[in-house]
Amino acid sequence: MNICTSCQKGVLSPIIKSSPFMIIKERVTQSELISKEVFVQYGLNKYGHDDHTTSYYLNLELGKVGLQLSTMNLTNFYMHIPPKVGGSKEEQAMLQGCTDYSISELIKVASGMKIILLCGAEVVKTFTGYNTSDIYGLLCRSDLLPNVPVIVPAPNPDKLMNSPIGEMRNSLKVFAKQIGIYKEYKEI
């Protein structure tokens, strides 16, 4: 397990496969921390009963556009729960250090990807410079990931159960279409 250089917390590892496609969401969930794996599909609900996680529902939505979560590279922007910060300069500096560590680690794992689905306001703003609600489902580029030709912004799947699903479905359709185009041209 790696350690965040800013807060010294252990961080989860991304799931890296031979696929050139990646999904990045913002933060780890409690179910992910318990299982020590990102994008887990089962966990405990707030009452302590087995339940599906939002990653399970994301996988269902991916299935509707012909994709599977298990074939994607998967990671979170923050691979640990960032520290809660107050107004002190030290706390602000620690959070900024966690963010900088997360950005550098994400650049390492995402640099060879061809198509990335960026999920969540903070990660989209960090990598594209745009507010998410302005660009959901549009094709973007990132100065931090200049070798990634296609980035599709989407809502955070961890909010899937409490927010409108239309933006997510639209983003997933665009993501799937771009993967189809990539596969078609790769065969030529």
> What is residue 1's predicted lDDT score, i.e. its pLDDT?
62
From CA 155, how far away is CA 137, in angstroms rounded? Answer: 9
From CA 171, how far away is CA 158, in angstroms rounded? Answer: 15
Can you give the residue ranges of every domain in the chain?
2-186
Q: Which fold has domain 2-186?
A: Uracil-DNA Glycosylase, subunit E (3.40.470)
Q: Collect the ranges in the chain with pLDDT lower than 70.
A: 1, 160-164
> What is residue 161's predicted lDDT score, i.e. its pLDDT?
66
> What is residue 177's predicted lDDT score, i.e. its pLDDT?
96
| Residues in contact with 186: Cβ distance below 8 Å, sequence separation at least 6, in sequence order | none
> What is residue 86's predicted lDDT score, i.e. its pLDDT?
74
The pLDDT tens digits for 64-84 are: 999 999 999 999 999 888 878
Q: Measuring CA to CA, how many Å separate 175 from each of 44, 48, 64, 69, 150?
A: 30, 34, 12, 13, 9
From CA 160, how far away is CA 58, in angstroms rounded? Answer: 8
pTM, entire model: 0.91
> What is residue 140's predicted lDDT score, i.e. its pLDDT?
95
